[in-house]
Every structure is written in C-alpha cells, then in structure tokens.
Amino acid sequence: MSSNLDLSGLDNFSNLLQVGSDAASAAGKPLVLPLNRVDEDPRNARKRYDPIKLQELADSIRVGGLSTPIVVKIHPDDPKRYQ
C-alpha cells in the first residue's frame, strides 16, 4: 500500500454538499437553532404523538441534555429553515 496517495481532489468536496447559510453549518459543526426555524419533515413516519410521552421527553432533555445532536437538513423550499 502506497503512502503517496493524491487526495488533492477532495479539497473542494465540501462544495458538493448542500450547506445552510449559518457559519457553523458551513464549517461542519453543530448548530444551535431556535425551534421556530425547524419544521417537521412531512415524510416523517410518526403521525401521532402521545402528549404525555412527549412532555416526558422534553423534561428529560431539559434536565440531562442530549448525548447526540438532533440531525436536521436544510428545508427544500427555504434555505434559512430546516427539517
């Protein structure tokens, strides 16, 4: 196996990715987004939410935070919003 691999073609790989206008997003770092910029994906398989379980989840996140960031993508109709 050669240690002389030419990876220079990957320098502009990030240009192929759709990134938001947020500087953190462009840098590939987690974003802190206000909830009013995040819309539910209409293709989400979940159609019903138990309000008690949802409140329990919200309370748990408020107390303990998240161990893994929530994944969002740029909204297809509005690049300043997310799904």
* pLDDT tens digits, 24-75: 555 667 778 888 999 999 898 888 889 999 899 889 989 998 888 888 888 9
Looking at residue 43, its amino acid is R
Q: What global pTM score does this model have? A: 0.55
What is the distance between the alpha carbons of residues 50 and 46, in angstroms, rounded to a whole number? 11
Angle at 16 between CA 11 and CA 17, to 5 degrees: 110
Structure tokens at 57: 């989840």
